[in-house]
Structure 1
Amino acid sequence: MISLAVSTVSDSPSTVSATSIDRPGGFDRDDWASGYCNVEQELNAVSLRPLRGQIPAELQGSHYRNGPGRFERDGQWVHHPFDGDGMITAVRFSDSKATLSNRFVRTKYWQEEEKAGRFLYRGVFGTQKRGGAKANAFDVRFKNIANTQVVQLGDQLLALWEAAGPHALDPVSLETHGLSSLNGVLKPGEAFSAHPRFDPGHHGEPRMVTFGVNTGPTSKVRLMEFATQGPDAGRLISDRTDSFKGFAFLHDFAITPNWTLFLQNAINFNPLPFVLGQKGAAQCLTSKPGGQAKFWLIPRDCGTFAGQPPRIFDAPDGFVFHHLNAWEEGDELVLESIYYNDYPSIDPGEDFLSMDFDFFPEGRLEQCRINLLGKGIETKRFSERCCEFAMVNPRREGLSARYAWMAVAERETGYAPLQAIKKLDLSNGDQCLWSAAPRGFVSEPLMVPRPGSEAEDDGWLLVFVWNGERRASQLLILNANDLSEQAVLEMPITIPYGLHGSWVAAD
């Protein structure tokens, strides 16, 4: 059984100690690697019983999670786990009970490769068809693997992958209905973000805010907002497109009541190795020496600055996949993001299961205060500990939030697999840690507020954990306030390390 530990600390972030092992190599690589394996079963509403604890009675709804579920075909492994075919996991909670369903997204690519029993398409992150560069040259098709996020919009569940359109699924059976144009909003082949943001109601009604990007020497960002409740759920409310100079790698963004905030990383893209079959498209990205990252601030159509052109400001050095949150404070926009010193990539000659963690850049949470009057930017780092997948209480999306929850490494500095969950008090640096080390590894934590509660940290964290000792997946329910364990649910199937998930409260 995994040894779990919880500790609360109030030191400054630079002096916080880990809850257990704190040294390079303090985990077993085989334990970590064993979490990457093909999912061989699809289940429907299988009852789950807690190994320990009890499911909170007020936790009522569905936790959907997306992530790669197939890594190998006919003895060939994907080059990068992000190239794995998307599989949706649904855990439904009702009356202190839980059931599990899972199903692969039936993209046309998945169906063709299932029938052939081998990889027929290249992956964006470096997976190649057999036959070397000659067999892959000039095949520039993108395989929509629908593996990054899953959200409900209206009566459809959407499996998202940001380089193409969403796949529509049945929210109950998880059956794939096919690519969705969202009632004609999207053109065939148009990109649709895999990282939407949910406005909790800053302008009287909740909305899903999202974007699509068409990148190149000039990049176009299409910003869209959809209704999420009532008979109009799924209806497009606002739509604008803006052009910016330079190549854009955009996975995430942030929102406030009046703004959307994008970070254009200082990145070069040389497509020639991709066209010649030598690399995946993402492997052709490199940090631009001497380049200048930019903040793109696009006004929301529902806000005070509706109709105005975007504002552009210089951004700090570094590379960002994910943002935590943003809010407005006088003449400033405050944005909290996870910064890497360099673009993290796995080169063609590397095996992701044996990569050298000591040479991989770590992500660290930082705050940027952007002065809208052009008086500069102030930055603040919250901790040296490697972190990812951070979120605030969804009711505080776009507003100042005191607390954040994130997945972190067990060691205090340097890159390492994510083995712990941290609650961070953004006002004073106090931290609370829950650890699955040395043999457990965590995925993205999802914060679910307690119904009717006004306290920002009153609710639960849902966390999928890979138990390296038992070679099994578990779902942890933690108290969001103190990270105390509420329940541990053993999964009847392997659920590999996922990407993003969502919560849909029961009606």
Structure 2
Amino acid sequence: MIASRRHFLTGAAALSAAVVTPEAVRAMTAIRIATDWGLATADVEADVAPTAMRLIHGRAPAALEGALYRNGPAKFRRPGRSATHWFDGDGLVRRFRISDGRAELAARFVDTPKRRQESRLDAMVMPGFGTLGDPRAGIGGPDDVNAANTSVLMAGDDLWALWEGGSAVAMDPETLETRGMVTHRPDLKSVPFLAHPRREPDGRIWNLGMGRGQAMVWRLSAAGELEAATMVDLPRASYVHDFTATARHLVIVLQPWVQTRMTLPFSEGFEWRPDEGTQVLVVDKDDLSKRRVFDLPAFGFFHLGDAWSDGDDIRFDVCAHPDMDFAARGAVEVLNGVPLSGEPARLALAHLRADGSADLQRTGMVAEFPRGDPRRAGLPRRFTLHTAEETPGRPFASGLGMTDWREGRTRTFDFGSDQVMDEMVFVPRPGGTTEDDGWLVGPTLNLAARASELHVLDAARIEDGPVVSWRADTALPVSFHGVWAAG
């Protein structure tokens, strides 16, 4: 229940007492530095003022004007105590602006109560997804532990920094100054708002707020104004990081990683129960009481692509894990520089039939962060954009792929083993109508050059590589999710 989750987080300080010593922090840092990809989870010590990036290849498309906003954790370690899980660092919002053929980078930490309190203590004391809290933490509600570190959303004149366990945080899209927590109504203060809202082609926003066995269904206008907030019951208390939607339905995938107890850290309250399989709850957007449940084989997941209707059937893509070991253990190893041993996620296509049956078409393609043409959100589509090409033992992709479901093939481009690939977004070409008529825009972290780069590829010819690339004079750690704002 939402109320139970709030009570759970409010009482976190009393429940948590483990302290990571400075000696342990130094040992973990030494391990991290010893790896070639440790830069991907390094700490950022200060905001980055707007700075021109240096052109290193090609020429920017004349019609490409706008800003790519991205969010991800970028501060994990302090002398008095450190976070122990990759998902628990402080959110750093980056803005890559492209204008007049040039690129500019700026970055600023989200000014959350969590960050302010931990800055005063010079210790990471708040509980998180995989980090125990510290008795020094002062917690009055869920938003006191809000890391605002996962994604971003444009909502009217605001840029929202998103987490999954509390409120969105409004920021100025130009200065990246934090404006404050978003509270749609007094009785909805601190109710969770997932980091993966779904926006319809006309701009309307749908989202969920997860509690144990329940979900708040948020419906907002294109400007982020509240239209409705309705609680629905779920068949089980699965971990839900992402959901998807067609033009008519919300599609909530309930994996067999199920919350069985309220404990800290949050991830330790879940159990992997593959014998229970994966359930898919389909809810009518116009009447949330109209619902169907479909059964699929067991898989774990973080991210889904947009769903679409195929007649009376529903299809959606998912980057399916064999289990949720990465959430529970792998992301701890990532932060500490330990080589991974688990299987990566692979792209699959789910098919929910009108007769109640369902199946999962697995491709074998290593993939994460599925994206598509935002103009076709919830509508029939052909392509899925995703990251690809992972080096064994290394948790980060070095390339990207575009899978064509109609032709059953994937075109790829690999940046090479010295590059760490972030999620890319599709930017439609002005006046373009086809799904691949546009650009793929996103950053990489160049480990050899110790620098962040920004790349633009032609979506119809990604195998040719970037049409333009820029390099910054700074290296920012890997981020999670982003959004493009035209103009």
TM-score past 0.5 threshold: yes
Which sits farther off after the overlay, 496-505 or 260-269?
260-269
Quick check: 1:362–1:414 contact (8 Å CA) kept in 2? no
Flag the 1:298–1:49 CA change in 2: closer, same or farther, 3 A. same
Q: Name the SS for the 2:176 alignment partner.
A: coil
Which consecutive residues of structure 1, in runs of 5 or more, have no partner in the other structure?
1-27, 275-279
Cα offset, 1:62, TM superposition = 1.4
The yes-or-no answer on 1:160 pairing with 2:162 is: yes
Find the counterpart in structure 2 of residue 290 from structure 1: 275
Q: Hey, what's the Cα distance between the residues in 1 that align with 2:399 and 2:126?
A: 35
Quick check: 1:266–1:287 contact (8 Å CA) kept in 2? yes
- Counterparts of residues 179-328 of structure 1 (less than 5 Å): 179-182=181-184, 184=185, 187-201=188-202, 206-215=203-212, 219-228=213-222, 233-271=223-261, 274=264, 280-301=265-286, 306=287, 308-328=289-309
Which sits farther off after the overlay, 285-294 or 159-168?
285-294
Flag the 1:100–1:350 CA change in 2: closer, same or farther, 3 A. closer
Q: Name the SS for the 1:112 alignment partner.
A: helix
Q: Hey, what's the Cα distance between the residues in 1 that align with 2:387 and 2:122?
A: 35
Q: Hey, what's the Cα distance between the residues in 1 that align with 2:393 and 2:177?
A: 41
Which sits farther off after the overlay, 428-437 or 251-260?
428-437
Find the counterpart in structure 1 of residue 15 from structure 2: none
Q: Hey, what's the Cα distance between the residues in 1 that align with 2:289 and 2:368?
A: 33
Find the counterpart in structure 1 of residue 42 from structure 2: 37
Q: Hey, what's the Cα distance between the residues in 2 that align with 1:298 and 1:188?
A: 25
The yes-or-no answer on 1:505 pairing with 2:458 is: no
Find the counterpart in structure 2 of residue 145 from structure 1: 147
Quick check: 1:422–1:432 contact (8 Å CA) kept in 2? yes
TM-score after normalising by structure 1: 0.83
Find the counterpart in structure 1 of residue 52 from structure 2: 47
Quick check: 2:55–2:470 contact (8 Å CA) kept in 1? yes
Q: Hey, what's the Cα distance between the residues in 2 that align with 1:152 and 1:220?
A: 26
Find the counterpart in structure 1 of residue 121 from structure 2: 116
C-alpha distance after superposition, 1:378-417 (max 9, x if no partner)? 32112x2321111111112112211221111345x89853
C-alpha distance after superposition, 1:46-81 (max 9, x if no partner)? 222312212222111111000011121117442121
Q: Hey, what's the Cα distance between the residues in 2 that align with 1:433 and 1:85?
A: 32
Cα offset, 1:464, TM superposition = 1.3
- The residue type paired with residue 366 of structure 2 is C
Flag the 1:414–1:457 CA change in 2: closer, same or farther, 3 A. farther
Q: Hey, what's the Cα distance between the residues in 2 that align with 1:222 and 1:327?
A: 22
Q: Hey, what's the Cα distance between the residues in 2 that align with 1:288 and 1:75?
A: 37
Flag the 1:53–1:454 CA change in 2: closer, same or farther, 3 A. same
Q: Hey, what's the Cα distance between the residues in 2 that align with 1:46 and 1:354?
A: 30
Q: Hey, what's the Cα distance between the residues in 2 that align with 1:186 and 1:158?
A: 20
The yes-or-no answer on 1:407 pairing with 2:390 is: no
- The residue type paired with residue 54 of structure 1 is R
Greater length-normalized contact order (CA 8 Å, ≥ 6 residues apart): 1
% same residue: 27
Quick check: 1:409–1:416 contact (8 Å CA) kept in 2? no
Find the counterpart in structure 2 of residue 440 from structure 1: 419
When the two chains are superposed, the root-mean-square deviation of aligned CA atoms in Å is: 2.5
Flag the 1:456–1:327 CA change in 2: closer, same or farther, 3 A. same
Cα offset, 1:181, TM superposition = 0.6
Q: Name the SS for the 1:30 alignment partner.
A: coil
Cα offset, 1:457, TM superposition = 0.6
Cα offset, 1:235, TM superposition = 2.5
Aligned pairs, number: 449
Q: Name the SS for the 2:375 alignment partner.
A: helix
- The residue type paired with residue 464 of structure 1 is P
Q: Hey, what's the Cα distance between the residues in 2 that align with 1:221 and 1:348?
A: 27
Flag the 1:497–1:307 CA change in 2: closer, same or farther, 3 A. closer
Cα offset, 1:424, TM superposition = 1.4
C-alpha distance after superposition, 1:231-271 (max 9, x if no partner)? xx223334433212321311111111110100111123344
Q: Hey, what's the Cα distance between the residues in 2 that align with 1:235 and 1:416?
A: 38
Quick check: 1:386–1:415 contact (8 Å CA) kept in 2? no
C-alpha distance after superposition, 1:322-355 (max 9, x if no partner)? 1112111122111211111111234499643343
Cα offset, 1:144, TM superposition = 0.6
Quick check: 2:296–2:359 contact (8 Å CA) kept in 1? no
Quick check: 2:339–2:394 contact (8 Å CA) kept in 1? no
Find the counterpart in structure 2 of residue 454 from structure 1: 433
Q: Name the SS for the 2:315 alignment partner.
A: strand
Quick check: 1:361–1:414 contact (8 Å CA) kept in 2? no
Flag the 1:29–1:55 CA change in 2: closer, same or farther, 3 A. farther
The yes-or-no answer on 1:366 pairing with 2:345 is: no
The yes-or-no answer on 1:333 pairing with 2:314 is: yes
Quick check: 2:183–2:190 contact (8 Å CA) kept in 1? no
Q: Hey, what's the Cα distance between the residues in 2 that align with 1:72 and 1:246?
A: 35
TM-score after normalising by structure 2: 0.86
- The residue type paired with residue 191 of structure 1 is P
Q: Hey, what's the Cα distance between the residues in 1 that align with 2:131 and 2:329?
A: 8
Find the counterpart in structure 2 of residue 491 from structure 1: 472
Q: Hey, what's the Cα distance between the residues in 2 that align with 1:102 and 1:417?
A: 22
Find the counterpart in structure 2 of residue 463 from structure 1: 442
Q: Hey, what's the Cα distance between the residues in 1 that align with 2:426 and 2:307?
A: 17
Q: Hey, what's the Cα distance between the residues in 2 that align with 1:61 and 1:364?
A: 32
Q: Hey, what's the Cα distance between the residues in 2 that align with 1:121 and 1:372?
A: 46
Cα offset, 1:500, TM superposition = 0.6
Q: Hey, what's the Cα distance between the residues in 2 that align with 1:452 and 1:45?
A: 30
The yes-or-no answer on 1:473 pairing with 2:426 is: no
